[in-house]
Every structure is written in C-alpha cells, then in structure tokens.
Structure 1
C-alpha cells in the first residue's frame, strides 16, 4: 500500500515535506554552471526543443506569459520580445539561486522593461485566477513533489482559451535508443557534472528524476484530469523529450 507521506527523490524514497528542500539543494549547487551544462549535455539541442515550444505557444504582442521553473531565462527572453512593451512576462522559479542567475542574465541582455521575477512554488502559484494567456514549464515539472496539484494550479491562473505547454524529458520510443540513453545518463552524465560543475551527485539525481517522470500518455491524462482540453503532445529526439500542450476551456 502506497504511503501518502512519501515520494521519490530520484530513485530514493523520501518524506514528501523534505523533497522540495532536497531539490533546492541540487539547483543551488548547479545554478552557476546550468547553461553551460545544458549545452554540453544536449549538444545544444535543448535550444531547438525550446524554440519549438515557443512556436507552439502562439504568443502575441500585448499578452501575459508565465514561465514556471524558468531558471536562467531562455524562454522568458524569447517571450519578452514576442509580447512587446505592452505585454508582460513573469519568470517564476522556486529556487532563489536559479532566479538570480536568470535575472542577471536577462538584465545583461537589456531585457528589463516587460519582465518580472517571482519566487514561487508551482503547486500554489501566487497569481490571480484567469490571468495569463500562456504558461510554460520547461524541464521543471519532474522536480515538483505534487505534480497533480501543480497542474491544477497552472490551470487556475490561465485565462479561458489560454495555453499550457510542458516541455520535459520523457520516454524514448525505441528500445535501442532507450539503452543508449541509459548508458549516457548513468555513466557519462555524472562524470561530466563532476568535471564541469564539480558535482556528480546532482546530475545523477537529474538522470534518476527523468526515469521517474510520467511517460507521454500518463502526463497527457494528468493534464486532462487537471481540467485541460484538447491536450496533445509532440515527441522530439525520438521521445527523449516531449512537449505537451493543453488549452483551458
């Protein structure tokens, strides 16, 4: 029988009220090298995944966009240009170190006029009902303790007709790719983390958290249970990554 007071932290079982702090420790550790490691880990392909997500968003001038777990601001920077001076972008992250890196990065790029920074937990977003035209969460949902609560919170803050996009690692679509991916994730990735970021354990956790994340169909069902309509997903790089899109009816 499942223990409702327990959850997973990678492959380990921990108390639910401890997970957020443990995840915070991971991202405090990797924040300063996060962008560099993303480029190295994915061979730069993460930029293509994010570009496709932005294309699916349909964001236009004057709209409000929320980027949850926005980290170092890759999506927020693009959305800032799309919404223009009459729009608003909120970069939200539960982790203060990641939020500060994102703020510094975007400020250095001169992106200051239409962007706000909010430290927030995806499970209980501190925004009004029916507020945003679009919401994105890229490579963050798998770290949330209560994913169902987070999806419901996302649904609440979207306007009717608003779009939610979840970009996340998912399940490879072939056994061969899955085996190669496992070898890379559990043998090469932690070594790379040690060499570049001085932290192998955080990247071991990241690899484990990917394996514990719901597969494509399961996440689609979860989004529908949270209230999203017309939910669909798009596999990229053989299903290593998928972007799910749902509409608030």
Structure 2
C-alpha cells in the first residue's frame, strides 16, 4: 500500500515527527556511561504515553522477528545495527549506540534513528561510520522531490556509502510510512537512478542509511530480533521521516527548537 496524505494529514504528520524528534533528543541527553538499555526503554514508554501517542514497536510482530517486539524502542549497541531488543546492559565509555524509534500520534506514524558514541571517548572508526550514514541521509533527502524516482534516492544514498568504503546490505532499507509504520515503496540503500516509483506530494518516506564496517552480512541474536554484523564489526544507522512537498522534501522528525 502507498498512501498519499492530504494537507490535514500532513499537519498531523508534522506533529508526530516533531514529537518523535524531541523524544530522541531527550533520550540522547539522558544517556550516559552506566545507563541501562532497559532504562532507555522505560523512559521512552513514559515519554510516548505522556504525549498521548502510541508505540509502533511494542506490538510489532513481522514475519522476520520473534514477535511481538514487546519494547518501545530499538537499542542497538556496537556490532548490533537493527531491531536491537532492549536488555539488561549498562553502557560503557566508547559504546556506539543506535536508538531507533517509531510512534503514532492522531493516526499518523513517524520513524527516526540516531547513532552516537556514549561517554567521552570518540573512536575514529565509530565517528566515521556515523558521519557516513548522516551524509548519506542528507544526500537521499536532497534527491527527493515531486517527479523524482525511488532509484534516485537509493543511488544518492549508496553513492555516499560506497565512496566511504562501506559494503551495503539491501535486505533492509527505507520505506513508505503513513497510517502504519511500514508501507510501500521500499527504498534500498543503493540503486540505479531513474528507476522505481515516481514521488508525489503528500508521500511520506522513512529514509534510513545504515552500514557495517567490513561486511554486508547480518546475523540474528538468539532473542530473534537483534541484527548484528556477521564479523562483529561496528555499525551505524541514521533515519528521518520526510514528506514530499510541491517543491522538494520536508524533514518531519527534527525536534522543534
């Protein structure tokens, strides 16, 4: 299903995106060396409920997971990159943490992810990974607009990631979003320009470049959810929900200043 939102629905999407962006920034500001992943999950629950919103994850039960997910946020550490199931782990200095969150407010969902290093350490490899995903995300957004094709966005994202020297996995990528969290079209993190669905005003897309240092192969934890790099290398993931407008693309998941 591909949804095209009307102006009133887009206003609701803006509210959902701003809420989500604010929650992620609050969680990042609270997270420090010694923070337990289960604390982050609890804070997320409190922030979502306090805003009158709903979690898109707690009852999430897709075919590839061991569902339902049962938590409110994905917390992926170091070699974990996607669907990190919160568990009893206290963050250490230098850990690379990805927080991936999706919420729904007034019937419209938004999805976003941030990666950052915990504590005072700044390992060069981790900083480079995060930077590459953030630059790829901006490239994908810059390529988006009415009349652009999905392949144009995928090509822009993949060009940045490949130039940075990272292998690209195509099993998981970006997606349409609207009244539900995951919709068509799929947005691969690499692709050929001029191919795929033509973007129209009112379309929402969640773009999410993610990479692993030296592999494009994932392995699944015994929890049935957490996806890690097959080699144990570090990973990073950046994501925004955008709306296609009459003259370009609007980032919805930025916190309101």
TM superposition score normalised by structure 1? 0.29
Question: Which structure has the higher relative contact order (CA within 8 Å, separation 6+)?
Answer: 2
TM superposition score normalised by structure 2? 0.28
Larger relative helix fraction: 1
